[in-house]
Structure formats: structure tokens, C-alpha cells
Structure 1
Amino acid sequence: MATDIQTSDLKSPVDVAEYLFRRLHEVGIRAIHGVPGDYNLVALDYIPQTGLSWVGNCNELNAGYAADGYARVKGMGAVVTTFGVGELSTLNAIAGGYSEFVPMVHIVGTPSTLSQRDGMLLHHTLGNGNFEVFANMSKDISCAVAKLNDPREAAVLIDHAITECWRQSRPVYITLPTDMVQKKIEGERLKSPLDLKVPENPADKEDYVVDTILKYLHEAKNPIILVDACALRHHCIDEVHDLIEKSGLPTFVAPMGKGAVNETLPNFGGVYAGNGSNAGVAARVEAADLVLNIGSVKSDFNTAGFTYKVSQLSTIDFHSNLMRIRFSEYPGIHMKGVLKKVTAKMGKLNVQPGPSHDNTIAKKDQAMSNEEVISHDWLWPRVGQWLQPEDIVVTETGTAEFGIWETRYPKGVTALSQVLWGSIGWAVGACQGAALAAKELGNRRTILFEGDGSFQLTAQELSTMLRNDLKPIIFVICNDGYTIERYIHGMDAKYNDVQTWKYKDLVAAFGAKPGQAKTYQVKTKQEAEDLFQNKDFGAASCLQFVELYMPMEDAPKALKLVTEAAAENNAKQ
């Protein structure tokens, strides 16, 4: 058993739980998601006294999704679960955070160190005396593991875990045994803020990489910039914008990078996703003789079924842990410092104009009447006309995620999607976390586009939104089931159908107070148009829930291309 620190030896005694939550407050977290359980209850008492608020989710999976959404807006999120049953329920969400580079702190209340040492037959265990099995499950989806079993090590382990969570932009796993919660440790450390800065690159190596990039950049006759998710996740977006604005180079985003770039810039050209690209984009990108590829994640959905047609011979890749110039790799070089120096030294470049991308609705889709059903070709450009600067837009991986590629965002929009992990139902929980973060940041509008099938998995978080007086605008796309699965296999198969719910009635069922929420049902373009023009609706003064009906077999072009490729890959022998 761990030896206690003598309180008399401490300059500023502080309880382990208080130290942990004060460090979370320090890095910008103001709300803790999770579900109470007997192994974390005493720890939860420290939340209000450390300047944090407790959210209280309907289940641990949703709590993990919410912490993910919160982190994408605020910079880092935290979720507290109980040992075994609680932590396993949230692992899907934590894995998604690891996959998509989202910094989340997962705190697990565990049985006491004495109980663990003696292998006691406790509830929430496997009954075999093994108290490490769940931590081992989390190890491979966490960039750091901190087991707070000894007060002499607790502060160091907490500081290291939170620092790595920020630097690597991935989840960390912290266990807090019941008998460690109130143990005294040295609080003097709290006077020294955590050093979250990524260590600087070796100067000579960085300068060599920069000079090599500049050589190719000045030789290029038709260079472009392509920005993806990791530019945002690894805190390089200011440097990226400096490069985009000062170079004037045509700039494109991959789907996972949507929202990373100011899309109102004159040199913004749209989404590049191989065959699923915005109109004119694929030809322009693939004709470039040099692509500055910043923070790329070349997954199937992010490349429209691996249909990228950009040669590595004409590519310079910027990453958080390496630089790749054509076929030469430079490990251990972070893109942040390289981007700064390239921008500072680049001088005049050869700039060829790129395509423009706007929210113009095609003529074939402009017909408007109370008979015209809502189509994806009409909806997503119209959404772009309705959005406002600084909105937070959450899209489920389905018709919404692929449709939003056709939306040009106003300045300052934060876009949340889960293109790589793609866990169905993620977006409802993420919306709750994002809306809470938006409230903390000054009530930015939070807008969710969610399919009916996905919504049914995590609908309970409507309750959490109401409980915390959040005011998102929620569009549930009612098209009778799992559209993305239909296009992969089984368009009319029974397993791709869902029960038809009275979706908007759930707002009242989950306890909305008078005046706390409004609900709508739109089935035609004209009804949708009237809603978009409704100033009270756009003001988002309360939670608003929209049933938006679309034909079952309608889908964005990009979704059809991606699912066709997925079906082919699935069928390979």
C-alpha cells in the first residue's frame, strides 16, 4: 500500500481530486461530462469548488461524445465515469477521439488501492480479481495513462497526462481510486502553469527543411494549398492562415478539414475529395505541380473512396511529427515552426487563379412550391446562405456530412464532423458538448444536422440540452432509415429501415419548460425557405427542433461515390 505524504511536510496541502480538477480548469475546461457511480461520487464533490460545472449525461457513451464536441470547440474536454461498467460504455467515444485527434481527459473512479491489492470480489468487476483489465483496454486508445495509486506520484502523473493530451491532441486515461481522492499532495505546483508548448524543432534541421520547401515552392509554376483536420487539431491554424493570406495561393480543404480555413477568402476554392470534389476543384488540384498538403488524413471517406489523384512526387506533407518532401521524410519535425518560417521567407510566388466556390443553387434546383420536395442539391447551398459568421455546425456522418461539402461557410464557422471514426449517433452528443462550449464562449449559434436513424441512438441528449438550458438548432433529416448503409448495400432491405418516431414530440417528452423550446416540421422547399427566412428562428433564442423531410433515395453526389467505393472494397476477396 502507498505510503502517505506527511501533511506537515507540505507547503500548500491540497487533495488529489482538487489538484486534478484545478489543472483541468487551468487548461480552459469549465464543464465536466459524465455519469455518477459509487466509485467516483466523492471526487464529484470537488467539481463546483474548483470553478467547474457538472453536466450529467444520460449515459456514458453520450457523455464521451459530448466531451468530444466540447473539446473541438474549447480545446480540451473531460469525462468522468465509474470503474468497469461506466468506463467501458464510453470507450467507443474515446476511441473516436483517439482516431480523430481530439484531446479528452477520461477520469475513472476506481475501487480503493487496498481493495485492488487484495483482489476483492467487488461489483463492476469481472469477478476474477483482475483490476487492470479495463485500464489495459484503454491503453491503446490513450496517449498517456496515469494511475493515481500513490500520492507521492499523483501530481506529476496528472501534469504529464494533461500536457500530453494537449500536445498530442489525443485522449488520456486517469484512474482515481476512492482512497486517493482526499489524500494530501503538494499544491505549490499549481502556482506553475503547465507548459503546453510543443518543443521547438532542432534549428538546423528545421532550417534545412524550410530551405528545401522554398526551393520547390519557387520552382513551381502552379502551386496550391490543401488543408486537412490535423492542421486544426495540432494548433497550427493561425500559421496556416498566415500562409494562405500572404501567399495568395489557391486553397482547398479536405472534408475533415472543413471549417479549418476562412472560406470567405478570395483564394478559397472549395472541398477536394477526389471524385467527390466541389465542381471544378478536382481538375484544378490535380493539375497543380506542387501541393502543400497540411495535416492530411487520407482515409476512405475523406478521399471519396481513395480517389485522390495527387502524386507524392508533387506533394509536400506537413504533419505534427514529421515533414515529407516528395519521397523524403524528416521525422521529429513539427509543422508549426516550419510553417512560420516558410511564410516569413517565401517572397513572391507563381500564383495561378483557382475556382470559386459559392452557395449558388443550380438552376435545375431553384423551383419553389409547396409541392417541391426538399432535395440535397437544393438544401446544402441554401444552408450556406442562411449560416452566420461564428456559427458552430455539427454534421452526422451520413447525408449531412457529405452534403455539407457543398456549403461555403461564412467567416469563423467551426465545423464538427466525425469522418474517420464515423460512429453513428455521435453528432447528437457532440452537439450537446459543442452547445455548452458555445454558451461559455458567448452563445454562438450551434446547429446540428442529424439523420433520423442516427438520432435514434443518442436522442436522450435532448434531455441533457434542456437540463443545461442550451439552445441549439437541431435539424433531424427524416428519410426513413440508414441512407449511407442503403447505398453501400440493401437499398430496400428491412435492416436499413427504422421505426418512424414523432421526433419533435420528444422535446416535450424530455421535459421542455414553457418557452424553452420550439418545434417545426418542414416537408417542402417552400416550407424550408419560410423557416430559413424566419428571423425569430435564426435568432436561436431557445432550443429549436426541426423535422426536415427528404426522399428516402435522395443523397448527395459525394455520398453515392464514397459508398460505391466502400461496397467495392467490402466485396474484395
Structure 2
Amino acid sequence: MSSDIVTRELQQPITVVEYLYRRLHEVGVRSVHGVPGDYNLLALDYLPKCGLEWVGNCNELNAGYAADGYARVKGISAMITTFGVGELSAINAMAGAYSEFVPIVHIVGQPHTASQRDGMLLHHTLGNGNYNVFADMSEQVSCSVARLNDPLNAATLIDNAIRECWVQSRPVYIGLPTDMVLKKVEGKRLETPLDLNRKPNDPEKEEYVVNLVLRLLHEAKNPVILVDACAIRHRVLEEVHDLVQKSGLPTFVAPMGKGAVNETHPNYGGVYAGDGSNAGVREIVEGSDLILSIGAIKSDFNTAGFTYRIGQLNTIDFHSYLVRVRYSEYPGINMKGVLRKVIDRMGDLNVGKIPHVSNKLPKSEIDSKDQNITHAWLWPTVGQWLRENDIFITETGTANFGAWETRFPKGVTAINQILWGSIGYSVGACHGAALAAEDLKSNQRTVLFVGDGSFQLTAQEVSTMLRKKLKPIIFVICNDGYTIERYIHGWDASYNDIQPWKFVDIPAAFGGKAGEYQTHQIKTRKALLDLFANEDFSSNKCLQFVELYMPRDDAPLSLKSTAEASEKRNQSA
């Protein structure tokens, strides 16, 4: 059937690209990240017509990181790259989003379908006529792949991909050949919004699980709640809040779950990460006879080197795809419905001791006359400076582990990449998160702590922040190289060294104009306290860029213990 005949049969013809963009707009996307290339240029022309703004990043890897940060604040994001060279540059970021359950729609501009069919020797190919190889690579880190090679099924494939992206909270891949951009599809479909709801649980099976959970809860002498990242990713924070509030139970978070719980709530007891836990937390969690574990990701860095000491016999695991009660699994039962019914029927429970968590400095730091900025001093101090609803981003390494010792004000969004751990991630994520806050018109501060080594991988994205007139507060921790790697192996090895940069010169080198940014070089505790007390700095009036000097051999205790465990595993026979 010819495309002309198909078009005449459509009630409301609309181009494939406009259909795709209007669906993205429908689910909340307003800014689209990426890098232009000849196979996506025509598609980029249609963004403004559909209410979307092109970002334009310095490279595709940064674009992927930025899309990740945007999605963690906004709920979903989109990125456009070109075939081959562009999409492969982004695939590391997509893998990180896949592993950490971040929903990104990755659109790839592809060569003309006739060129693909004929196996033409085009640029950006491997020269072997295989035009599926790159999509096949991305299929391993995508929950859905849509190849828009035919207008007859293009709209259906788009709808399915975006729905799966939202529901599974993972990246999807959409291949858009150049000749498909302006092909027509049925626009009337847009009158029916996408169904973004998960399939309801089987009522009888859900009822059985709810009753089982309630029975164990009421039998327990000292139950606790432990919240992790997938509670955030799979959108059950409302249920978590209500569970914490109604139960009165001691509530803890895993490191990847920071920000999932209101840390000013009286039930909040701190971070549980095995040996890396906040003071007094490990004894209570590991001594509990029932742990309600919500959205757990039990990776090495999230458990301080697999030092969890909680048995499955005392645990109920709530996930998006199953509920596990002790050693019995109930697949296909989503935690959202179960948690809501448990909350509604809960009644009174036995409530144990809750540790008090604060941003009070350790006595050793209060009494210290040392002006060096140590991790033991820094992170409680940062906690005192943070404000409600801040977006707080920490890079893999000292910053990420240090944040475990920071008690957040209400409403703080924490962004980290503890599982995937790609160094340099946080700079791109900072851009995306700050842009999402701008799109939301929320006036949230975006605060980034990143190590000097990690910053050097993705420094160019500060250029995009300046171009987009974003106003994050960026702290570059200058501690002379890859500290986390030094603690794992090679303390004085040259591969853990970096070339020192004049970081405060970065905004100017990237073309920042007077009034668009301020820079600061901080080497003492007094200087940092004075900076924190400066309202001109602390309010988000312009981009703030801080060189923050810390001792080379200092690190949070949780990092030291995790690194030691990692080195032992790496060297084990």
C-alpha cells in the first residue's frame, strides 16, 4: 500500500516526528538534550513547533548524563543523537540510566530506509552494510526498542516505547530514519492520553500478600522500615511517606535512597549501609525482627562493601515486580498496591528506639584548631547550609560517601550514581537537574559536589550551563586526584594522579560574562563558613563555582571501609 493512499485514509494526518514530540510533551518533557548530526537535523527543526526546546550539549556522553539528571527531577527525559558515532558516545550514559532505573527516551536519527535496505557504504557505519548493529547494542541497555521504519506502525511503536519507559523507569531506544520524519500517521490518537499506569495486581493474590504482611507486622517486636532507590524510581514515595507517618516505625534509608524520606521527620533514624552506617543505626536495623525493605538495590557501594548483616528470614522486600516475604516470592505483585492496603489496615504496632540524627559536628571536630577542611567537618556543615527542596548532587567518590553523614532538610532531592559509578556523571547530571528545575519554575537550588579528577572528564558541560543561563552552585573538591581509587589500590601510583587545573578560571575560559557567574577559592574552614553565610552566594542569582581544597589523604570513614572491601574482592582467588 503506498504512503499516499495511507495518508488519504487518515482522519487527522500528522508527521511522525510531530507525533513523537507531542507524546513527549504530554508526559512532561520540555527540554531535549543531544548533539546535532546530519541524520537528525531535519527532526530537530520540528522541536519548537511542538513546545520543546533544544538544549545542545558539548558531546553525547554529557547529553546522556544531563538527560539522566533531568529525568530524576522531572520524571522522564529525552535525548536525540545521530546514527553510529553519536549514539555510541551516549551508550555509557544509557547503561547507567538502565542500571539505576532512570527513564530516558533516546531518539536516534538514522539513514534513509532505502540506504539501509541496500546496505550502502555510508559514513558513520562499520562499512559492512549492517544497519542494525548499533540498535542491537542499545537493546541490551533499553527496556524497549522501536524501529520506526514504516508509518503504518510508527505511532503504535512510539506510544508503546514511551509507556514502557515510564512504567519500567528505564531507557528506551527509538530509531528515526531521515525519510520517516515527515511521513504521516494518525494524529487523532493524540486525543487519547497514554495509559501510564501499571497493570493492576491480581486482587486475590494481592489480598493474600497484604494479609501476610500485616500478620508479620503485628507479630514483630521491633520492626523497622528501610527505604532504597527503587522507591523513588518506581514512584511510591507517597506510600512511603504515609507508611512512615502512620506506623511510627524507625525509618532508615540506604545510600541510594537518600532523599526518599523526609529526614526532619521524628521517625527518621539515618543511613543504613552495614559497616558504613550512621552512628547507632547498624545495631537497631540488624537487631530488628522484621525489616520492611522498600525498593532495595543491594550493590557493593550501596551496602559499604556487602557488609549488610540482615537475614532474609527477617525481611519483607517490596519491589515493582514482586513482593518477597521471607523466603517466599510473589511475582507480578507490584509494591504500590500492597503498601497502600497495608497502610490503610495497619493499626497499632510495636515501635522501638529511633536514633537521633543531626548535623552536629563530631566532638573531635568541634575541639579541633585545625583549619584544614576535613570530611568529618565538611558534611555536617554542608547539612546545616542546605535548604528545603534543594537538589543535591554528589559524584562517585568522596562526595558521595560523605553525603551519608549529612541530614537533609525537608524536600531535598538527592542525585548520585552509586551503582553504575561512571566518574564525571555528576557534572552532566547537574546541568540536566538545574534545567529541569528551570522548566518546573520551582526556584530550587542545584548544588553539586564533585572531585577534581571526576570534573576533568566532563568539564565542558559548564559551558552549556552558562549558555542556558543556569545557576547551579558547584564545589570542585581539590584533593589531588582520584582519592577513592587510591584507597582501593595504588596510593602513590601515577595512574591516580591528575594535572592540577586552575578551576576558578573555567567559567571565564568557557565564555562566561560578568554577572553570569562568580568564582571562589576556599582553603580554610573559616573561609567556607563565611561563604556559606554570604546570602549573595547562597541564593541562586548566578552560577557559583568554588575551588574547595581538602587534604589528599582524607576521606569519609564509609569510603575507607568500602574501598578496603573492594580491594579484597578484586584480589581474591
Q: Give the TM-score of the pair, scaled to structure 1.
A: 0.99
Instruction: Give the equivalent residue in structure 2 for 1:464.
Output: 464
Question: Following superposition of structure 1 onto structure 2, how do residues 311-390 of structure 1 map, counting pairs within 5 Å?
Answer: 311-367=311-367, 372-390=371-389
Q: Deviations over 1:53-75 (max 9, x none)?
A: 00000000000000000000000
Give the partner amino acid of 2:439. E
Distance in 2 between the 1:318 and 1:185 partners?
41
Distance in 1 between the 2:22 and 2:331 partners?
35
Q: Deviations over 1:94-133 (max 9, x none)?
A: 0000000000000000001000000000000000000000
CA drift at 1:513: 1.3
Indicate if the aligned counterparts of 1:247 and 1:349 stay in contact, CA closer than 8 A.
yes
Q: Deviations over 1:151-191 (max 9, x none)?
A: 00000000000000000000000000000000011100001
Instruction: Give the equivalent residue in structure 2 for 1:247.
Output: 247
Q: Secondary structure at the match of 1:32?
A: strand
Q: Secondary structure at the match of 1:138?
A: helix
Identity of aligned residues (%): 68
CA drift at 1:283: 0.6
Instruction: Give the equivalent residue in structure 2 for 1:424.
Output: 423
Q: Deviations over 1:306-332 (max 9, x none)?
A: 000111000000000000000000000
Question: Following superposition of structure 1 onto structure 2, how do residues 50-449 of structure 1 map, counting pairs within 5 Å?
Answer: 50-367=50-367, 372-441=371-440, 442-449=442-449
> Could you list the runs of 4 or more consecutive aligned residues of structure 1 that deviate by over 3 angstroms after TM superposition?
1-5
Instruction: Note the residue ranges of structure 1 that are not aligned, 5 or more in a row.
Output: none
Distance in 1 between the 2:83 and 2:561 partners?
43
Instruction: Give the equivalent residue in structure 2 for 1:42.
Output: 42
Indicate if the aligned counterparts of 1:5 and 1:185 stay in contact, CA closer than 8 A.
no
Distance in 2 between the 1:291 and 1:85 partners?
47
Distance in 1 between the 2:7 and 2:214 partners?
58
Distance in 2 between the 1:59 and 1:525 partners?
36
CA drift at 1:354: 1.2
Indicate if the aligned counterparts of 1:3 and 1:150 stay in contact, CA closer than 8 A.
no
Distance in 2 between the 1:29 and 1:265 partners?
32
Does 2:529 align with 1:529?
Answer: yes
Q: Secondary structure at the match of 1:260?
A: coil
Distance in 2 between the 1:116 and 1:212 partners?
55
Give the partner amino acid of 1:476. V
Distance in 2 between the 1:559 and 1:52 partners?
41
Give the partner amino acid of 1:285. V
Instruction: Give the equivalent residue in structure 2 for 1:492.
Output: 492
Indicate if the aligned counterparts of 1:4 and 1:152 stay in contact, CA closer than 8 A.
no
Instruction: Give the equivalent residue in structure 2 for 1:558.
Output: 558
Instruction: Note the residue ranges of structure 2 that are not aligned, 5 or more in a row.
Output: none
Q: Secondary structure at the match of 1:346?
A: coil
Q: Secondary structure at the match of 2:515?
A: coil
CA drift at 1:10: 1.2
Indicate if the aligned counterparts of 1:294 and 1:318 stay in contact, CA closer than 8 A.
yes
Distance in 2 between the 1:365 and 1:413 partners?
26
Distance in 1 between the 2:376 and 2:76 partners?
35
Q: Secondary structure at the match of 1:6?
A: helix
Distance in 2 between the 1:524 and 1:323 partners?
50
Distance in 2 between the 1:195 and 1:214 partners?
31
C-alpha change, 1:305 and 1:364, in structure 2 (3 Å) is: same
CA drift at 1:367: 4.8
Indicate if the aligned counterparts of 1:2 and 1:151 stay in contact, CA closer than 8 A.
no
Distance in 2 between the 1:3 and 1:119 partners?
23
Distance in 1 between the 2:150 and 2:204 partners?
42
C-alpha change, 1:368 and 1:283, in structure 2 (3 Å) is: closer
Q: Secondary structure at the match of 1:81?
A: strand
Q: Secondary structure at the match of 2:505?
A: helix
Q: Secondary structure at the match of 2:179?
A: coil
Distance in 1 between the 2:474 and 2:5 partners?
51
Indicate if the aligned counterparts of 1:424 and 1:454 stay in contact, CA closer than 8 A.
yes
Q: Secondary structure at the match of 2:518?
A: strand
Distance in 2 between the 1:3 and 1:333 partners?
43
Q: Deviations over 1:282-337 (max 9, x none)?
A: 01111111000000000000000000011100000000000000000000000000
Distance in 1 between the 2:536 and 2:289 partners?
49
CA drift at 1:8: 1.8
Distance in 2 between the 1:356 and 1:4 partners?
70
Q: Secondary structure at the match of 2:520?
A: strand
C-alpha change, 1:215 and 1:125, in structure 2 (3 Å) is: same
Give the partner amino acid of 2:468. N
Bigger mean CA offset, 358-367 vs 195-204:
358-367
Q: Give the TM-score of the pair, scaled to structure 2.
A: 0.99
RMSD: 1.0
Indicate if the aligned counterparts of 1:312 and 1:327 stay in contact, CA closer than 8 A.
yes
CA drift at 1:443: 2.2
CA drift at 1:7: 2.0
Distance in 2 between the 1:140 and 1:490 partners?
33
Distance in 2 between the 1:214 and 1:185 partners?
50
Give the partner amino acid of 1:379. L
Give the partner amino acid of 1:202. D
Does 2:568 align with 1:543?
Answer: no
Instruction: Give the equivalent residue in structure 2 for 1:519.
Output: 519
Q: Deviations over 1:442-491 (max 9, x none)?
A: 22100000000000000000000000000000000000000110000011
Distance in 1 between the 2:536 and 2:2 partners?
60
CA drift at 1:4: 5.5
Indicate if the aligned counterparts of 1:239 and 1:340 stay in contact, CA closer than 8 A.
yes
